[in-house]
Structure 1
């Protein structure tokens, strides 16, 4: 039995079904509380995702898969595509077999978002996704802020809210044990 969560009253007019009616099933959009948000990532954003993926991939547990841009349904009017998601292997197989639009938050162990300074999506990443990923049951959330001094902030779910476990900047080494054991500095991601 799932718990009912309050995602707020200010909702837009769109649902996941509306997103599916867009050309290419709305692949260039996320749906944030009923509002369509167009995603237009640049090269720096994509390269940071690739660097983080390369660091994580050798440490992925056998029962999970690492995916970029995998759709995660939070509610019927909220669908996100984390930059990187660590997804339960069974859920990924089921989604593929059943041609599902998205997995659920409970299928995702880790969501990683890469945030560029002045990109316009700060509020979505640091507020909406921060709250929604927690309420959806995603156990771990990492935000990688690309700035003059890059920063990684790691969170772990505590009940239905995130608790910060690590925050490292620049050349400091992030030594993370969960959900995968890795060590890296934010600077090596942006080098």
Structure 2
């Protein structure tokens, strides 16, 4: 989703963000600043569904954990940062005893998937990738609809760009998962 503008000058807390009325708007909280995100377009939604459904089928059949879409992860506190990847995965060993909470999930997902929207800047996407990786995410997939490619960022600092005919592999993060990149579009 494309970031549109910073809405507050005073620092906001994750609890305040969670209580905001939805009204068709999407928000993230970055070091206490409320960021309004433009709603995703149709292509974005279709890709999120294709990625999420493929991950879900694989993860559920092997009881690996949970696949979550459009949900906030509280990455840091004081000031608070809440990021909402388009699709995410949490390993079963990291799911809280009571299950996935109603509110924001504390900590980072094991896998975060971001789908680039037409108005997203390179800096905005890189800031999200950096936030995820610096807070414990093991792998980030950045999906580029315009080029039908995926950039994979690993926690060890390696990055690879996959094209339409390449195989996207979940590695140790989502064991056994793979999909041809072109199938995601």
Q: State whether TM-score is above 0.5.
A: yes
1:59 aligns with 2:58: yes
**Partner Cα separation in structure 2 for residue 63 and residue 25 of structure 1:** 34
Q: CA deviation at 1:124?
A: 2.4
Could you say if the C-alpha distance between residues 34 and 84 of structure 1 is closer, same or farther in structure 2, counting changes exceeding 3 Å? same
The counterpart of 1:80, out of the listed 79, 83, 92, is 83
Residues 74-131 of structure 1, C-alpha deviations (whole Å, 9 max, x = no match): 112210111111113452553546x4432311xx211111113x32354322x21111
Q: Report how far residue 52 of structure 1 moved.
A: 0.9
Q: Give the match's secondary structure for 2:120.
A: coil
Structure 1 unaligned blocks of 5 or more: 1-10
Greater displacement, 47-56 / 30-39: 30-39
Q: Aligned partners of 2:83, 2:113: CA distance in 1, in Å? A: 12
1:185 maps to 2:180: yes
Secondary structure of 1:23's counterpart equals coil
Q: Report which structure shows greater RCO (CA 8 Å, sep ≥6).
A: 2
Q: Is the contact between residue 12 and residue 33 of structure 1 (CA under 8 Å) also seen in structure 2?
A: no
CA distance in 1, matches of 2:97, 2:42: 30
- Matching residue of 2:132: 133
Cα distance in 2 for partners of 1:14, 1:172 equals: 42
Q: Determine if contact 1:173/1:184 at 8 Å carries over to the other structure.
A: yes
More helix by share: 1
Query: 2:4 is matched with which residue?
Result: none
Residue of structure 1 aligned with 2:150, choices 152, 160, 163:
152
Query: How many residues are matched?
Result: 170
Aligned to 1:36: 34
Which stretch of the first structure deviates more once superposed, 13-22 or 39-48?
13-22
1:189–1:27: structure 2 CA closer, same or farther, 3 Å change rule?
same
Q: Matched residues in 2 for 1:18 and 1:78: separation?
A: 12
SS at match of 1:65: strand
SS in 1 for 2:119: coil
Which of these residues, 91, 95, 100, is aligned with residue 91 of structure 1? 95
Partner residue of 2:107 out of 99, 104, 108 = 104
CA contact (8 A) 2:69 2:85 kept: yes
In structure 1, what is the Cα distance between the partners aligned to 2:169 and 2:103? 35
| TM-score, reference length from structure 2 | 0.77
